[in-house]
């Protein structure tokens, strides 16, 4: 039996591999989501969508925008926490904030966040002496913060309102509650594993090892993920139609599941996947009203931060590659000119001394 499992594992690695399996899963999710979205949007009246957009109260949009700002402010602590965990204390908070914000917004909007976000992080952190291995550790710990926060909120929400996820996963509420308990039990087991170690736990092998945060710091890590997710879900909740009523916890469960599907698809901005999941999971709402909510949310959470990030990175690259080299050349030129000006009177004085000696 052991030989059979070893052969199957070797054959899987050689013939398929986790990378190909991940790509296939992403394509499958995108195709299914787009098909569902096209089917769901049949018969939608664009005029009603425009009317629904105008019916969203301006103060609710403003409050949702503040929640988005709060979410991205919390997001900056993902990298800051990871940097302190791996011992890179010389990197200031402002650089961690820049890296978190730009890598997430640009990477998530372009797609393939692992690669695009990692490349942006390396471009920023390499100026502070961090290596590709350090950046990989930061990406891992930031991802761990995201998943711990998501699993905690999802477990709590599905345990409280298990029926909220039934429209999406097509499982009975009792099964959803079991899944929720499993999520919370998994987090509890992770904390127990951290607490029972003689020293801080490590993950990795062959020269790549990341030291995990202690149990106390992991509580802070979970809190960061929960607050970030709470702000995002609250922004969506504020934009939802007031009728029919939906409680915040139920919407948070739907929002998290839709977000996780979007991340799993690696689609740019989770386009199509996130939207289809929200439309399928909330059939009690008018399609037009829900689409209006999704449009405003995408503008606030995706488009505006993406534009800001592109502008910041563009200005940063312009400053580093154009302005600073020009300033350095100008400084060297002025220094050479000043040196030549000082040397000329000295040479003239030496020539006068030679003439007098003659």
Query: What does the pLDDT read at residue 12?
Result: 47
Total Cβ atoms within 10 A of residue 27: 13
Query: In this structure, are residues 204 and 191 in contact, taking their beta carbons and an 8 Å threshold?
Result: no
Query: In this structure, are residues 312 and 102 in contact, taking their beta carbons and an 8 Å threshold?
Result: yes
Q: What is the dihedral of CA 286, 288, 292, 295, to 10 degrees?
A: 110
Output the furthest CA–CA distance in the chain (Å, rounded).
Answer: 112
Residue holding tokens 């003239």?
348
- Regarding beta strands 208-211 and 202-205, do their DSSP bridges make them parallel or antiparallel, or are they unpaired? antiparallel
In whole angstroms, how far apart are CA 349 and each of 144, 337, 339, 341, 345? 72, 19, 16, 13, 6
Note down pLDDT in tens along the chain; length 358 residues.
Answer: 445 445 545 654 555 554 555 455 555 655 655 565 555 556 565 676 777 788 888 999 999 999 999 999 999 999 999 999 998 999 999 999 999 999 988 888 886 677 778 888 988 998 899 988 899 899 999 999 999 999 999 999 999 989 888 888 888 999 999 999 999 999 999 999 999 877 888 887 766 788 899 999 999 999 999 999 999 999 999 999 888 889 999 999 999 998 888 877 767 777 778 888 888 888 888 888 888 899 899 989 988 998 999 899 888 888 888 877 887 887 887 777 766 565 555 555 555 556 555 5
Query: What does the pLDDT read at residue 5?
Result: 47
Three-class SS of residue 241? coil
Query: What does the pLDDT read at residue 357?
Result: 56
Distance of CA 116 to the CA centre of its chain: 11
End-to-end CA distance of the chain: 107
Alpha-carbon gap, residue 214 to 220, rounded angstroms: 10
Alpha-carbon gap, residue 172 to 164, rounded angstroms: 10
Query: In this structure, are residues 145 and 76 in contact, taking their beta carbons and an 8 Å threshold?
Result: no
């Amino acid at each position: 039996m052991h030989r059979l499992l070893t052969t199957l594992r070797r054959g899987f690695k050689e013939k398929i591999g986790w990378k190909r399996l991940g790509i296939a899963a992403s394509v499958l999710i995108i195709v299914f989501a787009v098909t569902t979205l096209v089917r769901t949007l049949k018969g939608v009246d664009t005029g009603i969508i425009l009317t629904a957009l105008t019916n969203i109260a301006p103060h609710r949009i403003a409050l949702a925008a503040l929640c988005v700002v709060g979410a991205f402010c919390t997001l900056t602590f993902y990298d800051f926490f990871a940097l302190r965990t791996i011992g890179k204390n010389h990197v200031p908070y402002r650089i961690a904030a820049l890296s978190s914000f730009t890598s997430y917004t640009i990477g998530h909007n372009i797609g393939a966040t692992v690669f695009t976000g990692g490349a942006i992080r390396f471009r920023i952190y390499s100026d502070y002496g961090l290596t590709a291995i350090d950046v990989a550790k930061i990406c891992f710990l930031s991802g761990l913060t995201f998943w711990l926060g998501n699993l905690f909120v999802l477990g709590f929400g599905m345990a409280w309102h298990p029926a909220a996820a039934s429209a999406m996963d097509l499982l009975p509420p009792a099964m959803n509650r079991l899944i929720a308990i499993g999520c919370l039990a998994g987090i509890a087991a992770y904390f127990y594993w951290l607490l029972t170690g003689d020293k801080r736990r490590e993950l990795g092998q062959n020269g790549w090892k990341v030291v995990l945060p202690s149990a106390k710091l992991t509580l802070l890590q979970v809190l960061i993920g929960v607050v970030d997710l709470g702000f995002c879900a609250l922004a969506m909740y504020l934009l939802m139609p007031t009728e029919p009523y939906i409680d915040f916890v139920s919407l948070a469960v739907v929002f998290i599941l839709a977000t996780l599907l979007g991340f799993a698809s690696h689609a740019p901005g989770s386009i199509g996947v996130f939207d289809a999941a929200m439309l399928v999971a909330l059939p009690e709402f008018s399609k037009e009203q829900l689409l209006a909510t999704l449009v405003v949310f995408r503008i606030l959470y995706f488009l505006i931060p993406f534009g800001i990030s592109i502008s910041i990175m563009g200005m940063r690259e312009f400053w580093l590659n154009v302005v600073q080299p020009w300033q350095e050349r100008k400084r060297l030129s002025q220094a050479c000119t000043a040196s030549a000006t000082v040397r000329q009177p000295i040479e003239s004085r030496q020539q006068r001394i030679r003439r007098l000696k003659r």
